[in-house]
Chain A
Amino acid sequence: MSSGSQNFLARNKGMLMLMAPIVAFLAVFFAWPVVLVLTHSFDGGEAGTFSQYNEFFTSSTYLRIVVRTIWVALLVTGLCLLIGYPYAYLMARTKGWTLAILTGVVLLSFFTSVMVRSFAWIVMLQRNGIIDNFVKWLGFEGLVLRGTTTGVTAAMVQVMLPFMILPLYSAMAGIDKRLERASTSLGATKWTTFRDIWFPLSMPGVIGGSVIVFVTSLGFYLIPGLVGSPSNQLLSHLIYSLINTVLNIPLASAASVIMLLMALLVVLPAMMRFDVTGSISSRFYSEEGRGGRQSPWLWIWAGLVIALLLVPSLVVIPLSFPENRSFAFPPEGFSWRWYENFFSSREWWGAFITSLQVAILVTFSSTILSVLAGLALRRSSTRMRTMIRALVLTPRIVPGVIIALAVYGLFLDWRLNITTTGFVIAHTIMALPFAFIPIAATLEQFDTRFEQAAASLGASRLTTFFQIILPLISTGMMTGALFAFVISFDEVVVSLFVGGVGMRTLPVQMFRSVANDIDPTIAAASTMLLLLTALIVIASTIFTQRRNR
């Protein structure tokens, strides 16, 4: 037995050393403090170890909230799939500028701050808001979706859609289009071909996208918290209020454990059967089967999806110019004062700089950790791979407030709160799943024979890495790095805890200005973020187009 494990260690020394940094990082800064918090769920005192669970499961209210949470998460996942599938299909069928535009829209939406979009949705859905007034203008009685499950679902679908479309597209882009030709030449109808060939082959994307959307929806706090109503609250909100108003951490921990188990119940089987991470990769792009004529219905559908993805964010633009400190829509008067405030106020400008610094550092830390882990993944067994993936992806499943509480407690001991280091560590935990997915996927698909060839020609391991591997995985690495940057630049919940006097990030400042203050500077900040994102997306689209030509 012991010699067996020694053998294992000796055989896998390289792999274990590559994996050590990410495992150690997550163990120390994530797993350990989170487990500490979650063990509070067994603080029953005299009532017994499981009394919190007993209380939770005997309350019809809590059970109803759990059922509602699952229902909303399923609904959001289903709708995203339904809306996103035809769009991704069209993407896989087009090339050149059309494809660039279709992709650009998804990326623009994906990179638009969640705070900006939550804010936009409030303005859209409230009474006398845009939708309500539009429906009244059409001659109906009006439609107030703020505070309804429908409103929350709509907003969540809009926010989650890119998480569904991107994996769907990369799965479809990898389908060998010759299979279709073979199918039709053998007499199959278009529909049969789609049902028996295309759809099954796109399954990894369907599963990958659905898992991410479902799990994220389960623990989503911002949209349900800002757009929803307490009378149809979701589990994440219950956990927040248990912690924030009555300091009932044992019961909140029990609720979190239950949420974690629900997520694992979905994720683990999917991860065993399908290569969830592999589906979100940039496979070899092929022009085969692209560029033909597509059904007009597909184009109409794509137009609607583009509207859904872009229009809600645009409402922040007019809201950034009011004369008064007000969020009323339509805004009254015109002034640049909120833009001036952004650049002159220490709070806003300072927060922006902090966010930028932290995000850049997080980009490096997450990318390096992910590349090392990805290299380890290539050398390990299937079971090992599943375990590594599960470890890196768990920060995605644990409710944000629990991570926040855990990290905050740990950082108090280590004096890391309100420091750049603290922010970078906390954000790296949140960013790792996103950086790891594309990086690991490219590394796994990377053809080992290049490596062997280099080695046989006498290149050292290090030379092989820098001369051969790095250039070949650069696309995946850039994608991962970009994801890490965006996640860090967008993080709210953990930053609310880790930050403090003199050191806050931009999303936290935005959250404060929606929750505690009526400050149109948020709209000015949102508008500028939107423009900046649009510029970056457009520039990179043009750049890739030029290069491809």
Chain B
Amino acid sequence: MKKLTTFVTIVATALAGSVAAQDKPEQIVVANTGGPYLQAVLDATGKAFEEKTGIEVLGDGPQTLPQLQQMVQANRVTWDVVEVPPVFTMRYCGELFQELPADLQNYDNVLPGFANKCGINIAGYANIMLYNTKVFPDGGPQNWSEFFDTEKFPGKRGLWDGAEGVNLEIALMADGVAPEDLYPLDLDRAFAKLDTIRDDIVFWRSGAQSTQMMESEEVDMMMAWSSRAYPALKNGAPFEPVWNQHIIYNNVLTIPMGVPYPEVSADFIRTAMEPAQQARVSELYPVTPGLIGAEPELDEAGEKVFAGTKERAESAVVPNIQWVADNSEEINRRWTEWLNN
């Protein structure tokens, strides 16, 4: 009899344990591009979430689209929350990413144009121009037109190796198109303009490479993500940002299809959207908060490249991500063609 009671107790405890486990996981995994930014997210939002819920937050990165697709198809999703470029959520909403709870859709205090049913602005940066102050001590190019002017400003130009959201836009602005008239993009015109600086372009592939380019003064001017310019400026790289015709960009936080605890994932996103966490992440790593009005305290280099000030936010060019997402394959194909011709 005593044995039976013990047995029942064990079974009951085990059952209770498994029920509790179904309600709440011990840990969740948040994935983004990785590196120091991931660390900042874990140190700020991750810690806050753990204190609130007792759920440990782990980080993974870099997140890749094919990996996510495989996870979703196999119904074994190990990333509970994923940060991605908004182009992805616009292309794969309902397919790879699930619709967010109603309170996370139509969020008021974020820049319009990046969020949709499946993604909410979490953090961003500006695509800014920087020039080498050693090479141009009396001031370098001040707009994209001058950036493309190889006679007035000779030298190597660093550009990101990617088709979506920046390079075609700056080429068109350099060619005289007003920011509000950019879309639909005139691809022929953009590539023709890019042709004029082709021989002077040095491409960078990852954010770390762009930082390295400034530190080793590999280029005389470049387009860089404001957040990636920060470590270079902090290490004393002689580069000056130009806050004119900068293109603002926000990444979005998403919940993949088939995550085991969608409610917990949504809760994490709610924590991440709190003003305190938004400011804290930016203090640790100078991304622009997704939330308008978050006020991080920054050091000098941080101030220089922070895209979230009122003035810089208002003068920013906002890309039409939906158009880019709809034309993604075409833009990418043309980009590869242009690169290799």
Contact = CB atoms under 8 A, between A and B. Distances in A.
Nearest to A504: B60
Contact of B235 (A61, A229, A243, A326): A326
A502 B58 contact: yes
Contacts of A59: 337
A128 B207 contact: no
A415 B74 CA distance: 10
Contacts of B341: 60-61, 64
Interface stretch (A186-194, A360-368, A450-458, A512-520): A512-520
A246 B65 CA distance: 9
Interface residues of B, number: 51
Interface in B189-203: 198, 201-203
B117 interface: no
B235 A516 contact: no
A225 B208 CA distance: 14
B5 interface: no
Given A412-B76, A501-B29, A515 B206 contact: yes
Interface in A402-433: 405, 408-409, 412-413, 415, 417-418
Contacts of A248: 329
A65 interface: yes
B43 interface: no
Contacts of B163: 245
B327 to A, nearest CB: 11
B6 interface: no
Given A246-B328, A501-B59, A329 B216 contact: yes
Contact of A244 (B64, B71, B207): B64
Given A238-B336, A246-B329, A329-B216, A147 B203 contact: yes
A64 B62 CA distance: 31
B13 interface: no
A65 B69 contact: no
A127 B156 contact: yes
A249 interface: yes
Given A128-B218, A408-B70, A515 B208 contact: yes
A514 B208 contact: yes
A487 to B, nearest CB: 23
A493 to B, nearest CB: 12
A324 interface: yes
A230 B205 contact: yes
Given A126-B216, A501-B60, A512-B34, A247 B65 contact: yes
Contact of B218 (A65, A126, A241, A497): A126
Interface string A499-523: 0111000000000101111100000
Contacts of A326: 215, 235
A516 B61 contact: yes
A233 interface: yes
A324 B34 CA distance: 20
A68 B29 CA distance: 41
Contacts of A301: none
B60 A500 contact: yes
A327 B212 contact: yes
Given A500-B60, A501-B29, A233 B340 contact: yes
Contact of B203 (A64, A231, A500): A231
Nearest to A245: B332
Interface in A514-534: 514-518
Interface in B225-242: 231, 235
Interface-central residue, A245, A324, A500, by most chain B CB under 10 Å: A245
Contacts of A341: none
Contacts of A61: 336-337, 340-341
Interface in B52-92: 58-62, 64-67, 69-71, 73-74, 76, 78
Contacts of B60: 500-501
A15 to B, nearest CB: 37
Interface-central residue, A408, A409, A501, by most chain B CB under 10 Å: A501
Given A230-B203, A409-B70, A516-B208, A127 B216 contact: yes
A408 B67 contact: yes
B211 interface: yes
Contacts of B154: none
B145 interface: no
Interface residues of A, number: 51
A324 B212 CA distance: 12
B207 A516 contact: yes
Contacts of A461: none
A126 B212 CA distance: 10
B299 to A, nearest CB: 15
B339 interface: yes
Contacts of B217: 127-128
Interface string A256-280: 0000000000000000000000000
B112 interface: no
A183 interface: no
A497 to B, nearest CB: 6
A238 B218 CA distance: 25
Given A128-B218, A408-B67, A518 B329 contact: no
Interface string A309-327: 0000000000000001111
Interface in A289-344: 324-329
A244 B66 CA distance: 6
A464 interface: no
A127 B67 contact: no
Given A232-B340, A324-B235, A512 B62 contact: yes
5 closest cross-chain pairs (CB), A and B? A516-B35, A412-B74, A517-B35, A127-B218, A230-B161
Given A229-B203, A246-B329, A326-B235, 19 more contacts: A61-B336, A61-B340, A127-B156, A128-B216, A230-B161, A230-B339, A233-B340, A241-B336, A243-B66, A244-B64, A325-B231, A325-B235, A327-B216, A405-B70, A418-B78, A515-B62, A515-B206, A516-B206, A516-B207
Interface of B: 29, 33-36, 58-62, 64-67, 69-71, 73-74, 76, 78, 156, 161-163, 198, 201-203, 205-209, 211-212, 215-219, 231, 235, 328-329, 332, 336-337, 339-341
5 contacts: A128-B217, A241-B336, A500-B60, A501-B29, A501-B60
